[in-house]
Structure 1
């Protein structure tokens, strides 16, 4: 969203200054050993880092690396800066050969293919030589990266994206509702949220659950299905069939309609600005959309540390987990660091990587109170004593599912979303029966999908 981009340069300057002070203290105290005291100081170390784009690099990696390695000459190569329109696999691999980066950092969309093509270095030996143990890290990191590496560890990730279920403790006390617990499913969360409406919260303008900018019917259908470990959409790109009129989706649709009707959910159709295929929201729109921060929603899911400094008492528990295992779509490993096979400065690349994985970085991040990521290094819990963390670090990410839609008209999904919003809104307002809304979504949705299918 746009508000998360504004003021980036100022924020980076503050972060860099903070990092420089902390890391200087660590160096002076003899706590960090990221340089060889016997090295020839006249020879400056150099590293070429292949990055996704400069903005993402500096906020996630660059400022830390610059502060920790002030004498390291870093050359940046933007490998694939347009996330919305990534270059072809062959182009990327050719760029890898031409630019010869020593280290790759960025989003994980390329990792699986690069590993399969033998273009990355197995990091297992380097981990062992550095005396790093898997038990010292978030287990979901190794599970995901080894699964995508066909059993080998071709990358590591210093950070994980983690969200939690926040609750407004003042509202729970006011309406005498039992507090949420760790390990709830999304169905559990919805059942808990619905108690507010039954307790009369609607007359005070309070809803049980709200997700800012994700409160329309299509958003909630996705949330209730995907967070329970099911398919995210009521259609299948492989079969070309719409599955609205099936028992599973009929149940989800009826649940969403009931929760709107009884006041557990509130629709907010806040318009953003379309730009390059993405929707951006300004600060006013974001503020209007966030009912939890306004004290008007009892529950929400948001990034760890995002709800600090609220004008009411905030509690948190682990995010919703699948009913079949201890996995959550609110936990994820989406960034990686990898050393290309044959890298010229592989030792320096690993030195940088090991630093990003270090206990020192865990301590630094505890001081930053980052709103969007946690260190994968579990020693972070020595510095941040939030009681939720031991349980949070045990929850594995949902296993990625592939839903290839190659060849389909890209307009299909937003058009189907609009269809869901229109029909469910009509059912909520009493303009249509639930059965009629389901029938329309099935019929018109199938027509949309047929029209969007790849042309033979």
Structure 2
């Protein structure tokens, strides 16, 4: 879980993931119920994507050898509706906000009828995912993978220090208080920590907590920054108190020996890339000096404090959908069924690289560690992490610099939190206003 490398890791992981699918999949042909023997007819399927890593046409062509994939790359910046109208793709791969906007504007094909027509089994898909993807009761897309946040914990340390074990559905506030129950004395390189979470940039923790509570940094309709509020003040206060408690180990360096949780010196780690952390904690570490095995378990969370059965810290990298204008809906649907099916899940079940699978058929456990926690909480996609609404040029890097500077002053008692929040809001508002003016000037 290295936040500044997270997106790059996701892309590389997915590239390896899809390249490795071909050998494991059945070569039997799959066609839709009324496809009129389309598997025997030469045809072209246009697939729009932002990152090529999200699919590998070679594996699809094992079952549909007469279908030629024509790739259509979108830069992610130009107007997607105009781009779709110009390019006429048959399948489009969207992030959560793009998916929500296009489905609400009737730009996508409703999949419910196709699912019913083909008796397509959705019973083993992550509970709550289908509901989360429904817009006004209708389903317009499916996502074969997702990335969720989870709480990994060292059972042995909790027992040693007589601290209650983490539970499913705990909030960030509860986790930070739990972390503070562990001793804070000793050398920083050898002592025990309550939590391992990167603090080289305070934006990570503050945004993580805010996302779990459904807070947004600005109103996308009015383009007014909304940071100087009571709700945001609570988040900042919570994070700053935790940082000052000296119970969080905040390094953000690579390598098992540099990871206090892996080395058994941190009681918990809250991972924004659960499958990568799963791979790390279960990897063979026999060659690592001074490594001592410990019992690892996973709890579902952090949860939304308003509803502990919900998680907002979930990322869907590529929701597959069919434009309403597609002339090849049947083969487009075959494409979506293929990548969201049980065969795909089976081929990927023993290679955790970057993302969890929405199909749970073969995702019960990994190397003896239960994966149940990844699927326990219901996804809420209202305010997805890492994303800005379409057409809004919010400068995340500038926001991070401003936040980091102001929080440092609060931690060092050079500025009150109230003054810092007012300053953050003013500076971020100017950054957003400048970015909007710059965009308008281009048009």
State TM-score, norm by structure 2. 0.76
Question: Contact (CA 8 Å) 1:168, 1:315: kept in 2 or not?
Answer: yes
Q: How do residues 46-445 of structure 1 correspond to structure 2 at under 5 angstroms?
A: 46-53=43-50, 55-58=52-55, 61-69=56-64, 71-80=65-74, 82-83=75-76, 86-96=77-87, 100-147=88-135, 150-197=136-183, 204-212=190-198, 215-227=200-212, 229-233=213-217, 238=222, 240=224, 243-244=227-228, 246-268=229-251, 290-302=259-271, 303-306=273-276, 307-308=278-279, 309-310=282-283, 311=285, 312-313=293-294, 314-325=296-307, 326-341=309-324, 343-374=326-357, 376-381=358-363, 388-390=370-372, 392-401=374-383, 410-411=394-395, 414-429=397-412, 431-432=413-414, 436-445=415-424
SS in 1 for 2:180: helix
Q: In 1, Cα distance between the equivalents of 2:241 and 2:418?
A: 18
Deviations 1:74-131 (A, max 9, x none): 2223241x23xx11145313224xxx33322343443334334444322222101221
SS in 2 for 1:195: coil
Deviations 1:209-248 (A, max 9, x none): 2334x55333222222322x24144x6674846644x544
Q: In 2, Cα distance between the equivalents of 1:391 and 1:301?
A: 13
SS in 2 for 1:218: helix
1:296/1:125 CA distance change after superposition, 3 Å: same
Q: In 1, Cα distance between the equivalents of 2:10 and 2:232?
A: 37
Residue 42 of structure 2 aligns with which residue?
A: 45
Show structure 2 runs of 5+ residues with no match.
Answer: 286-292
Residue 290 of structure 2 aligns with which residue?
A: none
Deviations 1:11-59 (A, max 9, x none): 469714xx32x32xx45xxxx55269x997994532323221452233x
Question: Contact (CA 8 Å) 1:57, 1:106: kept in 2 or not?
Answer: no
Residue 427 of structure 2 aligns with which residue?
A: 448
Q: In 2, Cα distance between the equivalents of 1:341 and 1:159?
A: 23
1:192/1:140 CA distance change after superposition, 3 Å: same
1:428/1:53 CA distance change after superposition, 3 Å: closer
State TM-score, norm by structure 1. 0.74
Kindly state the Cα deviation for residue 175 of structure 1 after the two structures are TM-superposed. 3.5
- Report the number of matched residues: 411
Q: In 2, Cα distance between the equivalents of 1:348 and 1:241?
A: 44
Question: Contact (CA 8 Å) 2:15, 2:53: kept in 1 or not?
Answer: no
Show structure 1 runs of 5+ residues with no match.
Answer: 271-283
1:50/1:382 CA distance change after superposition, 3 Å: same
Q: In 1, Cα distance between the equivalents of 2:226 and 2:331?
A: 52
RMSD: 4.0
